[in-house]
Structure 1
């Protein structure tokens, strides 16, 4: 466990899944502090508004009941460079570890100013079932200045996009499900059990 580092996990949380839960629990086992937030990904279309997605993610954070985990919504930005600037201002003496799933690793070279922000942090990649990492992807990140580490976690293949199409209560964290029903998200209504 690295006490001086803070793991930073931004997510669309549209909706938060068991995969998000497994990832957050794994990060808590590895880092002394974990910050998460809901954000708008410019490469994705979101079904629920950001404020509501932050509320859903907040329910998952509360469910995990760990004082080292916080919902840090003030870090939210569509652009990683801005998020990392905010994190560096908020935690000036901490090593920042930016966390992504292996499904996003190949996109990072196309993210805005990735050559500027990659050298500012460590990049931790969590393997997701169904999204293997290619050595060429890792090398492209290193070529942009990335200090890449692969997390020894296995995140399930659960995808928010799939759950939006076919909600499955077994793949949604327990604390999140009631809010999905309350706000009639993804075609769910309070009348469903």
Structure 2
């Protein structure tokens, strides 16, 4: 089984996150998504709020994509531990792909136990409009791929167009159209992202 694991800050989850999930659901047998605490980022709302908003987004899609699951139980600050939890849940014999945005490509080789992780999973990069993959990024990936430590890793770029609605853009401008209605209602009810 091909399993995509997508950890995202979800601060808040936007229409762009929704498009990514639909893309993944159309290309993988199972999609696991969870709110993550990226050690390289700061977060504007608490972890529990981000998990609840992401759950609302997954519920909105679940009828059409029953193999799309909100799986907070596999969430971990370190991707290697997330992979271990995913293998315990779905089995060692599956093929796992970790999904990241193009804004995180630079961080891959700084991840905890990156060499061990990248020998066990594929990496799928979702292009983000404001974070294009540059030739320098690709050359850096190729350099690492050809070095002794990372020769076994598999890297691909998703062929999808994601709208330029980022969580940070929502936090700055509060455009209701960038999040689904249930998330907007949750934000208002819990007074999140207010100035």
Q: TM-score normalised to the size of structure 2?
A: 0.89
Segments of structure 1 that go 5 or more residues without pairing to the other structure are 189-193
What is residue 191 of structure 1 aligned with on the other side?
none
Distance 1:24 1:178 in 2: 21
**Number of the residue aligned with 1:132:** 132
Question: How many residue pairs align between the two structures?
Answer: 185
Shift of 1:140: 4.5
CA pair 110-140 structure 1, distance change in 2 beyond 3 A: farther
Q: Is 1:116 the counterpart of 2:116 in the alignment? A: yes
SS in 2 for 1:124: strand
State the 4+ residue runs in structure 1 displaced beyond 2 angstroms. Answer: 140-146
CA contact (8 A) 1:105 1:137 kept: no
Work out the CA distance in 2 between the residues paired with 1:187 and 1:45.
Answer: 17
Cα separation, partners in 2 of 1:165 and 1:141, compared to 1, 3 Å: farther
CA distance in 2, matches of 1:9, 1:137: 23
1:67 equivalenced with 2:70 (yes/no): no
Secondary structure of the structure 2 residue equivalent to 1:96: strand
Tell me, yes or no, if structure 1 residue 147 matches structure 2 residue 150: no
1:89 corresponds to 2:88 = yes
Q: After alignment, is 124-133 or 53-62 more displaced? A: 124-133
SS at match of 2:55: helix
The residue that corresponds to 1:27 in the other structure is 24
Matched, 1:175 2:182: yes
- Preserved CA contact (<8 Å) 1:6 1:32: yes
Q: Which deviations, in whole Å up to 9, do the C-alpha atoms of 1:106-126 show, x marking residues without a partner? A: 211122221110111111111
Offset of 1:160 from its aligned partner? 1.0
Q: Give secondary structure in 1 for the equivalent of 2:81.
A: helix
2:50 aligned residue: 53
3-state SS, counterpart of residue 123 of structure 2: strand
User: In structure 1, what is the equivalent of residue 12 of structure 2?
Assistant: 15
